[in-house]
Amino acid sequence: MLSQAVTTKPSQLVPFDGKAQTDGSHQPLFGLDTGALTARMVEAGEPAYRGKQLAENLYRQRVTELDAMTTLPKLLRQRLRDEGWQVGRPGIAQVFQSVDGTERYLVEGQDRQSFEAVWMPEGDEGEAGDGSEETGKSWSRATICVSSQVGCAVNCQFCLTAKLGLQRNLSAGEIAGQVVAVLDRHGVEVGRDRVNLVFMGMGEPFLNYDNFMAAVRLLVREVGLSPQRMTVSTSGIVPGIERFAQEPAEVRPKLAISLNAPNDAIREEIMPINSKWPIQAVMDAVRLVKLRPRERVTFEYVLLGGVTDRSEDARQVARLARRTGLPVKVNLIAWNPGPGIEYLTPKPEAVELFRVTLAGEGIPTYLRKPRGRDIYAACGQLKRTVEG
């Protein structure tokens, strides 16, 4: 085995799990942070600064091939490859473009199982003074939405991803890799362009907690994104929220809770997870999070026609929001239909009445614009519609 090589020659860059790749496959470097990369380099008898250079190439220069890492000596690049390493960043396998500028991607990881990411540009309507003239880009700000798992085990009745069941967790490198691949595709200059990141694609981030948080740390510390421009959405996994509350502010995204119903009875019907962690338990956990000045917790609320979209529901949501004592805002989302799901899209009048009622009760309320309907840009829809 490579890892038991005699020690008279420089030690080898043994893959993290200590196993040599005998089947010709390669271990990904993408996903290791500067500390881990440095440790690998030092173990292999290389100078420590090579770790930093590798991280620069992977996360700042967004290099996808070892050969393109021109700041590293050719011999070292060769050696890395010979010893079973590759960049290993997940790649965009398919792109679907919407008339509204939204792009949806099928991204492939190591096992070629695909997952979804979405790019939603704004400010491309030609408004004056939005800053896009200075950058020469067609957008002045954008939101990237990424997945945390392939499929999901939570089984919300209105969600298409739920139909896939849980296929597998994504690794930290795969979660962060989606983001970097999309940044790269659009030539985003981190620190200069306004890009928000939402963990609202496929899967439940708090049921893949360690990999999700490792990805956040990579995105903050290596890629240079701000956690204050990131939002993680959870269906209300209480132990996950409790762990999240312990994270240092430096790497803690903002929090969104998929509330989706005005009370436990309706929530349990549409989100079976509510019987395990009812609304009160979720709110008690959310209260543990030490919010930054002016930070709000988002309640996401999917409007299901005839089920959760009555103005009485809006009044109950307002009461519930006030009772939490938390600074909150509500994001309303009209339900996106999908094959095999029996709910109804809410009527536009019902959506408007709901919004006005909630806002009238003093709750900051936003209506999420439907984006990319023509490319099935609702949660989990693309994979289902493409792969059948």
Residue 161 binds to ligand SF4 (criterion: CB under 6 A): yes
CA gap 381, 118 in Å, rounded: 12
Burial 8-36 (b: 16+ CB within 10 A, else e): eeeebbbbeeeebeeeeebbbbbbbbbee
Q: What DSSP line would sit under 305-339, residue for residue?
A: TTTT-SHHHHHHHHHHHHHHTS-EEEEEEEPPP-T
Q: What DSSP line would sit under 263-290, residue for residue?
A: SHHHHHHH-GGGGTS-HHHHHHHHTTS-
* Residue 171: HSE in the Cβ half-sphere, 13 Å Cα cutoff: 17
**Which residue's CB is nearer to ligand SF4, number 140 or number 161?**
161
Minimal distance in Å, beta carbon 336 to ligand SAH?
4
Residue of 103, 116, 174, 300 with catalytic role: 116
Total residues binding ligand SF4 (CB under 6 A): 12
Instruction: Let me know if 379 is a catalytic residue.
Output: yes
Contact with ligand SF4 (CB under 6 A) among 66, 154, 215, 318: 154
**Which residue's CB is nearer to ligand SF4, number 66 or number 159?**
159
Count the neighbouring beta carbons within 10 Å of the beta carbon of residue 250.
10
Instruction: Let me know if 174 is a catalytic residue.
Output: no
Minimal distance in Å, beta carbon 295 to ligand SF4?
22
Residues of span 150-209 touching ligand SAH by CB under 6 A: 158-160, 200, 204
Q: Which of 234, 167, 243 is nearest to 205 (CA)?
A: 234
Place of tokens 């529901």: 313
Q: Which of 216, 254, 256, 211 is nearest to 233 (CA)?
A: 256
Contact with ligand SAH (CB under 6 A) among 33, 100, 300, 309: 300
String of contacts with ligand SF4 for each residue 279-318, x by CB under 6 A = ----------------------------------------
Residue 335 binds to ligand SAH (criterion: CB under 6 A): yes
The terminus-to-terminus CA distance of the chain in angstroms comes to 43
162: partner contacted, choices ligand SF4, ligand SAH, none (Cβ within 5-8 A by kind): ligand SF4
Total residues binding ligand SAH (CB under 6 A): 18
Q: What DSSP line would sit under 174-194, residue for residue?
A: HHHHHHHHHHHHTT--TTTSE
Binding interface with ligand SAH (CB under 6 A): 158-160, 200, 204, 233-235, 258, 260, 300, 302, 333, 335-336, 338, 378-379
Binding interface with ligand SF4 (CB under 6 A): 152, 154-156, 159, 161-162, 203-204, 235, 258, 379
As annotated, the active-site residues are: 116, 379
